[in-house]
Amino acid sequence: MENQTVVIVGGASGLGLETARLMVKRGALKIGLIDRNEQLLVQAAEELRGLGAEVAVAVGDIARKDTAHGAFEEIVGALGRVHCLVNSAAIYPRKDIFEITDEEWDLENAVNIKGTYHMMVAAVRHMQQYVAAPAVTGRIVNVTSVDAFKAHPQNAHYAATKAAVVSLTKSFAQACAKDQILVNSVAPAGFATERARQLGFLGELAAANPLGRAAEPAEIAEWIVMMGSSRNSYATGENVIVSGGYIYA
């Protein structure tokens, strides 16, 4: 990550913030955080500055194009060229598969699919200014989920949005390959963020996992860093599953 500038969407907490910490430890110089939670954004920025990074934050709801693009441009205005985008923002409510309302579908699709889409378009448009083939122009890493591949009726709408992001990742990878922009996703099984703890499903996921435990966020962040760093020069359109064997259980 040496000398890289990274924008992390959903970077105010959880996996996004853990990824930011790891990227700074691995040499990233500048971090841009986009999130709708202003209070957590301020705390996260302070922590990352303490680790030595230059940090810019933008408050925004990624579900809408104007706010998503506005937030990305705000970060570019403060930090300059962006080398890497990480899309970690998502909502994962649980709901009986037969009871999902129109409003719940619309919100799930708006944040998880459309939000990821808007952020990728904003980043690609920006990165396209810096094409110098055959060098890699930039990297995008989307956070998906094993739920995209395994039956999960406890949150079927969420699972469907993550399958959609796997699909979007492949389409963007194809469309951006000529510009040497690498687009990949990482699909974790359950891991112990504050939000996941609050929702109370980690015990159930740990019991279903061959390793007998949920992951720590840092164990997932490693793979995001791998796909978003200069160590990745050839993988694009891939979805890396990091599930402690849960995907095969």
Ligand X SMILES: NC(=O)c1ccc[n+]([C@@H]2O[C@H](COP(=O)([O-])OP(=O)(O)OC[C@H]3O[C@@H](n4cnc5c(N)ncnc54)[C@H](O)[C@@H]3O)[C@@H](O)[C@H]2O)c1
Q: Which of 64, 11, 3 is nearest to 34 (CA)?
A: 11
| Shorter beta-carbon distance to ligand X: residue 145 or 180 | 145
55 sits near ligand X (criterion: CB under 6 A):
no
Instruction: State the Cα–Cα distance between residues 215 and 206, nearest whole angstrom.
Output: 9
Answer for which of 8, 90, 122, 183 binds ligand X (CB under 6 A) is 90
| Shorter beta-carbon distance to ligand X: residue 131 or 194 | 194
Answer for which of 4, 7, 8, 13 binds ligand X (CB under 6 A) is 13
229 sits near ligand X (criterion: CB under 6 A):
no
35 sits near ligand X (criterion: CB under 6 A):
yes
Q: Are 3 and 24 in contact (CB under 8 A)?
A: no
Instruction: State the Cα–Cα distance between residues 136 and 132, nearest whole angstrom.
Output: 8
Judged by CB under 6 A, the number of residues near ligand X is 29
57 sits near ligand X (criterion: CB under 6 A):
no
Phi first, then psi, for residue 226 (nearest 5°) are -55, -50
Stretch near ligand X under the rule CB under 6 A, chosen from 59-67, 120-128, 130-138, 223-231: 59-67
115 to 154: interface string for ligand X, x by CB under 6 A: x---------------------------x-x---------
Stretch near ligand X under the rule CB under 6 A, chosen from 24-32, 118-126, 193-201, 230-238: 193-201
| Shorter beta-carbon distance to ligand X: residue 136 or 196 | 196
The footprint of ligand X (CB under 6 A) covers 10, 12-16, 35-37, 40, 61-63, 88-92, 111, 115, 143, 145, 188, 190-191, 193-196
